[in-house]
Amino acid sequence: MKIGVLGGGQLGRMMALAGYPMGLKFGLFDPTEDSCGGQVAPLFTAPFEITEALEKFVDEHDVFTYEFENVPLELAEYISQRKPLFPGKDALYYAQHRLTEKKLFQSLDIPVTAFSKVDDRASLLEAESTVGIPFILKTTTLGYDGKGQYRVTSQEELNLLADKLFPVQGEACKDTTYGGVSEYIAEAFVNFTRELSIVCVRDQQGECKFYSPAENDHRDGILHLSVAPAKGLSEERLMSLQGYAQKLLEKLDYVGVLSIEFFETTDGLIVNEYAPRVHNSGHWSMEGSITGQFENHIRAVAGLPLGDTNNRSVSAMYNLVGHDVDRAALSIPDVHVHWYGKDIKPKRKVGHVNLLAADYEALEAKIDKLEKLIK
Ligand code: AMP
């Protein structure tokens, strides 16, 4: 079976690497000629548009998946009319628009923070009464890793932001920082104690499996460290996270790996967003779980039985963002380096290191050792 992956970055690369031992073949599709997935699988280089190159890609593969949530919907539609596409179009549709996504969570009784639509000066100024201050203003589309966001912590900041984005009453957004996006969502600021994510997988028969929720730390809006299982997570919260994940998987008739990010507060859980794909906060599972997220995603897409998602031990994923790690790190027991074959640039995810340990104390000691070897 030949699997076609839309996107040839590190996620597509790790999907292919996980699928080869099962006898599967891969082709990756990406507009960027030196996409790092091209080092491990044939790369079809063309824009994400319906062209002859896409037609050829569709002809040459049996089943399709993707590594990013901004796959154009018409492209997903084109593929799914011809060959199976997992996860399907619905999963993309909701994930591509923050307002639509929030409403979906509400309809499933998954708790969200107060939010309102902002598309002109008046609706931005009104956000003060609908969601309160502080709040975060996010573009409804195309935001990731904290891009396309403004934090508002006072009435004064709100007025300044209104002048920047919508200087003229009744007119569309004048800001071009984020590609001229004119629609935003105002989200009440969540006073969270930590950020959690749950990665889960559903197969073509509807069986669902869950990975241990991870605790995630960000630096400059980019994931820095994930620890799984999240320390001290109560049984009740674990059940809630799995229940929410199951509802979403079923609602979307989902096939493959999905991840959902949550804020944990003293009062409970609040959902942030979901990603219809393998996720950075699930990379620890490559060695930390009996079956890693990439293998399980490919198993689901290929119609194979899912593998066990239980943990081998306590684990962490340390992201290499704009930095390399001295390979001497491999002398730390049960430490695994995953290098993506990219050039190092600031803020660029170039690899990650998975660390496994018998308990949290030993894990922290290994992380300390690793940090000394980051260069
Ligand atoms: P996002 O692009 O939605 O994942 O947001 C990036 C980061 O901004 C999150 O990981 C949080 O740390 C923070 N953030 C996003 N939304 C909120 C919110 N409503 N309240 C507090 N922090 C938030």
Distance in Å, CA 165 to ligand 1 centroid: 20
Distance CA 166, CA 181 (A): 12
215 with 242, same domain: the answer is yes
Q: What is the pLDDT of residue 373?
A: 98
Q: What is the pLDDT of residue 174?
A: 63
**Three-state SS for 152?**
strand
Give 85's DSSP letter: B
Ligand 1 pocket list (CB less than 6 A): 113, 136, 143, 146, 187, 189-190, 195, 218, 221, 272-273
176 with 317, same domain: the answer is no
Residue 95 included in any domain: no
Residue 301 host element (H or E)? helix 293-301
Residue 240 host element (H or E)? helix 235-251
146 with 281, same domain: the answer is no
Residue 102 included in any domain: no
Q: What is the pLDDT of residue 80?
A: 98
Residue 215 included in any domain: yes
If the chain, 375 residues long, is cut into consecutive pieces of 10 residues, what is the mean pLDDT of each piece? Answer: 98 98 98 98 98 98 97 98 97 97 98 96 94 95 75 96 86 66 91 98 98 97 96 97 98 98 97 98 98 99 98 98 98 98 97 98 98 97
What is the phi/psi pair of residue 187, to 5°? Answer: -120, 130
Residue 125 included in any domain: yes
Spatial contact of 23 and 80, defined as CB atoms under 8 Å apart: no
Q: Take atom 1 of ligand 1 and give the residue whose Cα is closest.
A: 146
Distance in Å, CA 153 to ligand 1 centroid: 14
Can you name the residues that pair with 268 across neighbouring β-strands?
A: 265
Query: Which of 113, 131, 136 to mutate to test ligand 1, by most ligand atoms within 8 A of the CB atom?
Result: 136
Residue 155 structure tokens: 């009435």
Q: What is the pLDDT of residue 168?
A: 79
Q: What is the pLDDT of residue 176?
A: 65
The total of structural domains in the chain comes to 3
Q: What is the pLDDT of residue 182?
A: 74
Residue spans of beta strands (DSSP E) within 13-139: 25-30, 43-45, 63-66, 115-118, 135-139
172 with 204, same domain: the answer is no
Distance CA 234, CA 217 (A): 19
Least Cα distance to 229 among 207, 275, 197, 277 occurs for: 197
Domain end marker among 133, 168, 188: 188
**Length in residues, the chain:** 375
Residue 307 included in any domain: yes
